[in-house]
Structure 1
Amino acid sequence: MTSPDSTTSAPISLARRFAPFYYASTSGLFLAASSAPTPLYRLYQQAFAFSPVLLTVIFAVYAFALLAALLIVGSISDHLGRRPVIFVSILLNMVAIALFLMAEGPDWLIAARIVQGLATGTAVSSIGAALVDLDPVKGSITNSLAPLAGMAIGALGTSLLVQFAPAPTILVYIVTLALLALQAMLLWVMPETTTRRTGLLASLKPEIAVPLQARRTLLALTPINVAVWALAGFYLSLVPSLVTATTGSTAPLVGGSVVAALTISGAAAVFLMRKRSAATIMWFGIPSMTLGILTVIAGMHAAEVSILALGTLIAGAGFGAAFLGTVRSIMPLAKPDERAGLLSAFYIQSYLAFSVPAILAGFLSKAFGFAEAADIYAAAILLLVGWGVVALRSNREKPLSIA
């Protein structure tokens, strides 16, 4: 997996040393761009007068488009090379940002999120592969940390711009466009990390298959995984509006900080527990997520942002640990030629849990209000966690992981 570039050795050496940082920052930028609209949803809702249901649909179409890109073109860079695919992804994301800038109604926002989902799904698979090409061990860790850090930066950065800078629905996108343009130019300085190979058309066919030896473990972990991604989807779609409705705080920075707290603590948990066994990680993640959700609900009913933020930090640590533990539990059970199919099944499960429950939460918010919707949603997540614990205990005669 060496570079096919024919440039001189000194520039290649310098570029290769810089490449991991470049690819990590580009991955983070894509996820920052994806979470940047989160603090703006309340402003869009006021400007365009749409319901919480439509708000969650705007959020969810991104996840559906991202999933489609992962399944259809997720391995396209293996055949065309990393850099051309990443470049097209950056251009697509710039189109999405332009649609946000020109938005005159919710239909524009839906179109922007679809294009953004396609761009991000194509990019993260190609960038992730490039990072692993450069260093399999460090690349895997970076692939877990960069997206979470990027989502935190996007939510927090947008909140800061909305609260302290002019033109809240314009400036953040101009900044993002400038950063994407810079990444597009720097990309061609980076070395190509793989060689092209045949089989492009065959790679476009999604491969979805759970190996027989992994089915029992994946089934036992499914309630936990659904709970993890349902929690993330709720935060990235409705939590800023929930914070305003239940605490009375209209400061964009407050809602954005609460969202960022989830992904920051999630990233910290992934980093700190990266060398632990899957079983240890899971049994830390499950109680942490449970305690965090209960604390969040308590803070919501007490109208205390500090308690809500504390609960988010605890729940975020559980979110990151449970995600890491799930991946580490199932992937060693697949043979090398079975991993793509297993990952596809895992992606489908995760992104459906990321998007569909959020839409249901939008219906609940419209019918009962944000606080009541949060109560119902939290109860459903806790029931899933409890179900998962029972399933894991019944599966205990098989090791949770060989990692």
Structure 2
Amino acid sequence: MSVREDAERTGGHRAGYLAAAVVFAIGMAGTTLPTPLYGLYQKEIGFSELMVTVVFAVYAVAVISVLLVAGNYSDKVGRRPVLLAAMALSAASAGCFLLESGLPLLFAGRVLSGGAAGLLSGAATAAVIELAGPGQKGRAGFAATAANMGGLGCGPLLAGLLAEYTPWPLSLPFWVHLGLVALACVIIWRLTETVAEPKRWPRLEPQGVRVPAEVKGVFVPAALAAFAGFALLGLFTAVAPSFAARTLGVHNLAVTGAVVFSVFCASTIGQSLAPGIGARRALPLGCAVLIVGLLLVASSLLAKSLVLLVLGAVCGGIGQGLAFRAALTLVSEAAPAEHRGGTISAFFVVAYAGISVPVVGVGALATWLGLRDAGLVFTGCVILLAAAAGTYAALRAPTRA
């Protein structure tokens, strides 16, 4: 009897997949913890808006690199060892920010954080889904995506509150996160391993971006929608805090963190709506709602309105959540079990390209056009991409190849 079959026989699934989701959320919260603090780092160290986006993009590049090199490693060595490695990287990242003395350690902290997210994206998603019982797959799928987006949203909210209302704005958020990482390690140690025959120290074989043939018909529209949705998330996690402070005059870090939190919270709400709509209909619908959100964000840039910015975050987040949940569901269901971790990792490679490449473009454009005009160009480009992805998904329903 395999480890997984034994877990099914003993009925330990419900606690298992929820516990794995908690680990996922803690890990992802650490990746966005610095978001509302970049303004403080700019004042302390002194660097441009372009450098803010570069520091942010270094994280995404690290995520993509780990997904390409070790995205399928948990399929071989098991989910638990990879999750523990992710927590170790997350703790090391927090340590870099606690020792922060200039840009080198900021870059090191973001690289380590990106490594943690890269390991978590495939391994934690697969673990949550696999720890669910036969009748719990739908709830487990939501738990995985909600832990991902909810964790990303809780990071800025936690850091913003601690930075604004405590005397240790650049240290306490990371000490709190270290405590949460310790809790996550205890949970991981008690999780059931879902890989039936994990290997001990298998060779690390970089996989590149490879998707099984039977998944490609699902993968293309799903990945396009994920790219567009994550581009919106990248805008809010990298640039929106600067826009709120410099254009809207909002200097309260708790408010800034709450604005960023709102887009991820809305994403979670969108994900909860997807099952009732159906994955194949939720994909194009999510793209349409995302476009409305982007139009509201563009309007907030023109009108210099915090209300419109929040409305854009909420609407865009709901659209992103609908599309993301549908896309991940379709890809996960189509992927064969022995390649599920690698296929999910390839999906996240495309998503994290969306969260990084456009944002660096915004930072570069901001040096010539200013932050507002750069944001308008960005929203226009992402609207076109979301429209293309939604149209593709609507006219050619994703099916297995």
3-state SS of 2:209 partner: coil
Which amino acid counterpart does residue 55 of structure 1 have in structure 2?
Answer: V
Query: What pairs with 1:108-187 in structure 2 (closer than 5 Å)?
Result: 108-135=105-132, 137=137, 138-187=139-188
Which amino acid counterpart does residue 400 of structure 1 have in structure 2?
Answer: P
* CA contact 1:78–1:196 (8 Å) conserved in 2: no
User: Structure 1 stretch 114-123 or stretch 236-245: which is displaced more?
Assistant: 114-123
Which amino acid counterpart does residue 57 of structure 1 have in structure 2?
Answer: V
* CA contact 1:207–1:340 (8 Å) conserved in 2: no
Deviations 1:173-219 (A, max 9, x none): 11111121232234334444444434854563315334556556644
Distance change in 2, residues 1:325/1:61 (3 Å): same
* CA–CA separation in structure 2 for the residues paired with 1:333 and 1:194: 18
Which amino acid counterpart does residue 45 of structure 1 have in structure 2?
Answer: Q
3-state SS of 2:227 partner: helix
3-state SS of 1:19 partner: helix
3-state SS of 1:188 partner: helix
Match of 1:63 in 2: 60
User: Structure 1 stretch 265-274 or stretch 343-352: which is displaced more?
Assistant: 343-352
Which amino acid counterpart does residue 77 of structure 1 have in structure 2?
Answer: S
Distance change in 2, residues 1:389/1:251 (3 Å): same
Match of 1:324 in 2: 325
* CA contact 2:284–2:391 (8 Å) conserved in 1: no
The offset of 1:344, in angstroms, is 4.6
Match of 1:21 in 2: 18
Query: What pairs with 1:226-375 in structure 2 (closer than 5 Å)?
Result: 226-330=227-331, 342-375=343-376
* CA contact 1:207–1:344 (8 Å) conserved in 2: no
Alignment of 1:90 with 2:87, yes or no, is yes
Which amino acid counterpart does residue 291 of structure 2 have in structure 1?
Answer: T
Match of 1:46 in 2: 43
* CA–CA separation in structure 2 for the residues paired with 1:78 and 1:176: 28
Distance change in 2, residues 1:301/1:382 (3 Å): same
Match of 1:102 in 2: 99
* CA–CA separation in structure 2 for the residues paired with 1:57 and 1:4: 46
The offset of 1:66, in angstroms, is 1.6
* CA–CA separation in structure 1 for the residues paired with 2:245 and 2:156: 16
* CA–CA separation in structure 1 for the residues paired with 2:332 and 2:235: 27
3-state SS of 1:155 partner: helix
* CA–CA separation in structure 1 for the residues paired with 2:129 and 2:216: 26
* CA contact 1:221–1:326 (8 Å) conserved in 2: yes
TM-score, normalised by the number of residues in structure 2: 0.88
Alignment of 1:32 with 2:33, yes or no, is no
The offset of 1:81, in angstroms, is 3.5
* CA contact 1:247–1:300 (8 Å) conserved in 2: no
* CA contact 1:286–1:318 (8 Å) conserved in 2: yes
Aligned length: 394
User: Structure 1 stretch 301-310 or stretch 104-113: which is displaced more?
Assistant: 301-310
Which amino acid counterpart does residue 95 of structure 1 have in structure 2?
Answer: A
TM-score, normalised by the number of residues in structure 1: 0.88
User: Structure 1 stretch 219-228 or stretch 301-310: which is displaced more?
Assistant: 219-228
* CA contact 2:4–2:194 (8 Å) conserved in 1: yes
Query: What pairs with 1:384-403 in structure 2 (closer than 5 Å)?
Result: 384-392=385-393, 396=395, 398-401=396-399
3-state SS of 2:247 partner: helix
* CA–CA separation in structure 1 for the residues paired with 2:362 and 2:332: 31
Distance change in 2, residues 1:50/1:305 (3 Å): same
Unaligned 5+ segments in structure 2 are none
* CA contact 1:228–1:319 (8 Å) conserved in 2: yes
3-state SS of 1:274 partner: helix
Percent identity, please. Answer: 27
The offset of 1:149, in angstroms, is 0.7
* CA contact 1:262–1:316 (8 Å) conserved in 2: yes
